Amino acid sequence: VDATVDLLTDVGYHRLTIESIAARAGVGKATVYRWWPTKARLVIESLSHRIEVTPVKTTGELRADVRALVDAAIELFTESPLGAAMPEMASDLDADPEAREQLLSFLGPARAGNLSLLYRAAGRTDLPHDVDADLLLDLICGTVLYRRLLGRRSSSAIADQLTEMIVGRHLPRTSEGVGPTA
């Protein structure tokens, strides 16, 4: 069932009809409804079977780790269908809090991993507080997704700049070489 679902995700979330999902899966419409009350839930669950959202592996160096996070976000939101589907689900998520929860618990593990990565970085250098890391992840994802929304591609040059913006502040004071980039 889920296999076919993702294939259908390729036509976009709005264009995706439950009828066509059922047809493609060789399944009665009622069966789909039996298990997923909502298109949003079905899509989220299907994506969570298809896409691995894994935390980035730490290198021990902050700049490299942040760059990895940025790259992962770009990958996730511009290469996978998730980037296209997530914004379109907006209103469905507003209307159906359980669906939102499901989405969050799908993204959760990777986020937790990345959070702890940042916390460890904080221990080493100077990333201090709780909300900080949370917000920082939102910032990375948000920036990438927003650009996608407006049709702006996030090239690797953009990734460089974004990384520097984030990391610049926290680098050892000495090398002011960050300047030209940020």
Partner DNA sequence: CACTAAACGAGACGGTACGTCGCGTCTTTCT
Partner DNA sequence: AGAAAGACGCGACGTACCGTCTCGTTTAGTG
- Stretch of 23-31, 40-48, 56-64, 81-89 contacting its own copies, by CB under 8 A: 81-89
- CB under 8 A, 24+ apart: contacts of 2-11: 2/45, 2/46, 2/49, 2/50, 5/42, 5/43, 5/46, 6/46, 6/47, 6/49, 6/50, 6/81, 9/43, 9/46, 9/47, 9/81, 9/85, 10/81
Alpha-carbon separation of residue 31 from 7, 18, 34, 61, 107 (angstroms):
19, 11, 5, 50, 27
Rounded Cα distance, 18 and 136, in Å: 36
- Which of residues 8 and 141 has its CB atom nearest to DNA in the complex? 8
Rounded Cα distance, 42 and 138, in Å: 25
Binding mask 2-21 for its own copies (x = CB under 8 A): ----------xxxx------
- Stretch of 20-28, 52-60, 100-108, 112-120 contacting its own copies, by CB under 8 A: 100-108
Q: Apex CA 83: angle with CA 129 and CA 130, to 5°?
A: 5
Instruction: Look up tokens 């709005």; give the residue.
Output: 14
Residue 91 within binding range of DNA, rule CB under 7 A? no
User: Do the Cβ atoms of 62 and 121 come closer than 8 Å?
Assistant: yes
Binding mask 133-172 for its own copies (x = CB under 8 A): --xx-xx-xxxxxxx-xxxx----xx--xx--xx-xxx--
Q: How far is the CB of 1 from its own copies (least distance, A)?
A: 24
Given 3, 12, 35, 109, the residue binding DNA (CB under 7 A): 35
Q: How far is the CB of 156 from DNA (least distance, A)?
A: 37
- Stretch of 19-27, 28-36, 51-59, 87-95 contacting its own copies, by CB under 8 A: 87-95
User: What residues make contact with its own copies under the rule CB under 8 A?
Assistant: 12-15, 84, 86-88, 90-94, 97, 100, 103-104, 126-129, 131-132, 135-136, 138-139, 141-147, 149-152, 157-158, 161-162, 165-166, 168-170, 173, 178-180, 182
User: What residues make contact with DNA under the rule CB under 7 A?
Assistant: 17-20, 26-31, 33-35, 38-39
